[in-house]
Structure 1
Amino acid sequence: MENSLEQSPEKRKLSISIFIPLMFVVLLWLVFIIQWSTRADFYKYGILPRHVSGLAGIVFTPFIHGSWDHLFSNSIPLLILGSVMIYFYRDIAYKVFLWIWLADGLGVWLFAREEYHIGASGLVYGMVGFVFFSGILRRNRKLLALSLVIIFLYGSIIWGILPFLIDISWEAHLFGLLAGIFFSVYYLHRGPSDDPVPEWMEEVDEDHDQEHPPDTIQMNTDFLPEKEEKDNEL
């Protein structure tokens, strides 16, 4: 009973970390279902670079997708990366997410090709950049391991920033990634500094120590490192 009470704050933290990104993804799906069922052209609410009317797209672009595939390809990374950011960087996660959103959108509006840019993958690139570089720069064992897992899962997205991919908004990917890297440096001294080990992991470590004598050689695990989309879509 005592044990379950001790774990409840950790479970609550995990639940919140998953719930908030999940609600954001659900909202994206609701918007697309409305767009699909009404056959409305929501693309005009995307970012149209260097047009005053396109400034509103900085806010609306992540909610607009060109196809079911486009939406799905962004949904899973948003859920995973959003949960990771809130769980491990809860003090700064929301600020970082909003700054990436704004910086990516502004970069696209200022410098991208003069056509509508839609989708949320700029946010995905931004979160990948933040989580990876933040873990590296903080020299934190657990966050470093997390960084390498993220690269293992999403390392191939680097191809999405190459300018010869004209059927996608590589500009949004590039500015999202740069924003994530920038804010990993800007917020370097905010958020977790020591190892943010979940309680259940501490218990596993304790059990492991009891099972193995002190002279057992232990390895210091460090390392470990997916995908993209289409259609002038972020």
Structure 2
Amino acid sequence: MSGTEWEWSRGDRAKAAAKLMVGWVALLWLLEVVDVVSGHALDSLGIIPREPSELIDIVPAAFIHFGFAHVAANSVPLLVFGFLAALGGIRRFVLMCALIIVADGLGVWLIAPAHTNTAGASGLIFGLFGFLLVGGFVERRPLGIVVSLLLGAVWGTSILFGLAPTQSGVSWQAHLIGLAAGVGAAFVFRRRVVGRGVLQA
């Protein structure tokens, strides 16, 4: 593959990743507008633990938020982490997000405190952070390792704070499970290098 073809391929991946994440975040804001206009009817799509009927909400809960401040707090990290993770391929990214969302939702359903309602994209955000944090080391890619170290330096303190069980109204369980799911996803979806080519898992 020539240098020009590689640059075009890399540029196309970046454009696709950017469009996907801008659209994803825009959807979250749109859903919150609908929620407000409907008198917060969408809040019922959050996860109430250990209620069998709530299992159908483990995916929708990742797209629902409790107010515009909640959406705003999740928008920037979702854009950044999602864009970086999606550079490895949109198909792999979608499958990885599905794994993180389902694992996180099931974990919240199992261990969250009784009579709580958990929703928001932060479980996915912590999962994407976990994936990016270890992905470079798992795949032994120098650039990926640099990204991992930079993310750890810039976002590490905020992530650790989000895992603290002392924050009122914040689901540290969703954060912790999401982070663990993201680390697991780095192994499940790791890319294997064969000769000079790269095969995506």
TM-score (norm. length: structure 1): 0.75
- Counterpart contact for 1:91–1:191, Cα < 8 Å: no
| Other-structure match for 2:26 | 26
| Other-structure match for 1:232 | none
The correspondence of residues 65-144 of structure 1 with structure 2, limited to 5 A, is 65-90=65-90, 92-114=92-114, 115-144=116-145
1:77: Cα distance to partner? 1.2
Bigger proportion of residues as helix: 2
Aligned amino acid, residue 27 of structure 1: L
Aligned amino acid, residue 41 of structure 1: A
CA distance in 1, matches of 2:172, 2:84: 24
CA distance in 2, matches of 1:4, 1:191: 22
The correspondence of residues 187-206 of structure 1 with structure 2, limited to 5 A, is 187-190=189-192
| Other-structure match for 1:168 | 170
CA distance in 1, matches of 2:5, 2:155: 36
Aligned amino acid, residue 147 of structure 2: L
Pair member with larger Rg: 1
Aligned amino acid, residue 144 of structure 1: I
Change (3 A) 1:175 1:193: farther
CA distance in 2, matches of 1:180, 1:161: 14
- Counterpart contact for 2:35–2:43, Cα < 8 Å: no
1:188: Cα distance to partner? 3.3
Q: What residue ranges of structure 1 are gaps of 5+ in the alignment?
A: 197-234
Q: Secondary structure at the match of 2:170?
A: coil
Aligned amino acid, residue 118 of structure 2: H
- Counterpart contact for 1:122–1:177, Cα < 8 Å: yes
CA distance in 1, matches of 2:194, 2:36: 42
Q: What residue ranges of structure 2 are gaps of 5+ in the alignment?
A: none
CA distance in 1, matches of 2:27, 2:153: 28
Q: Secondary structure at the match of 1:55?
A: helix
Aligned amino acid, residue 178 of structure 2: G
Matched, 1:177 2:179: yes
1:57: Cα distance to partner? 1.9
1:137: Cα distance to partner? 2.4
Aligned amino acid, residue 80 of structure 2: I
Aligned amino acid, residue 110 of structure 2: L
TM-score (norm. length: structure 2): 0.87
| Other-structure match for 1:206 | none
1:18-76 Cα offsets, whole Å, 9 max, x none, are: 11111111111110011122322322110011001221220111111112111011111
| Other-structure match for 2:155 | 154
1:97: Cα distance to partner? 1.1
- Counterpart contact for 1:103–1:176, Cα < 8 Å: yes
Higher mean Cα deviation, 131-140 or 36-45? 36-45
Q: Across the two proteins, how many residue pairs are aligned to each other?
A: 195
* Percent identity (aligned): 31
> What CA RMSD, in Å, does the superposition of the two structures yield over aligned residues?
2.6
Q: Secondary structure at the match of 2:58?
A: helix
Matched, 1:14 2:14: yes
1:104: Cα distance to partner? 0.4
